[in-house]
Amino acid sequence: MSTDKLEPSCPGCRGANLCLGTIGGNPAVTFRPDTARFFSLNYPIRGFVCLDCGLVGYHMEAGWLQKLRAKQG
């Protein structure tokens, strides 16, 4: 697993066995801020599942998160 994509432990059980992937969506799940204009960028969201406890969650990669922070600031 890439270290810049996800914390190394599960937020639920603190286990280290995380598996990245996509959760639904076609072609991918995206995030769109409420303040976005019509032609604004949608931000891709990655999914993960903890292989220790089964927790499923979402994650935005660091590069996309930086772009979103810049737009909001």
The phi and psi torsions of 63 (rounded to 5 degrees) equal: -65, -40
Q: Rounded CA gap, 9 and 13, in Å?
A: 8
What percentage of the chain has pLDDT greater than the value 70? 85
* Mean pLDDT of the residues in the chain: 81
The predicted pLDDT at position 51 comes to 96
Question: Which position has the higher pLDDT, 26 or 58?
Answer: 58
What's the pLDDT score for residue 52? 96
Collapsing DSSP to helix, strand or coil, 56 comes out as strand
Amino acid making up residue 21: G
Cα torsion 37, 44, 62, 71 to 10°: value is 0
Q: Per residue in 33-59, pLDDT tens?
A: 787 777 777 888 888 999 999 999 988
The number of CA neighbours under 13 Å toward the Cβ of 24 is 4
Question: pTM for this structure?
Answer: 0.65
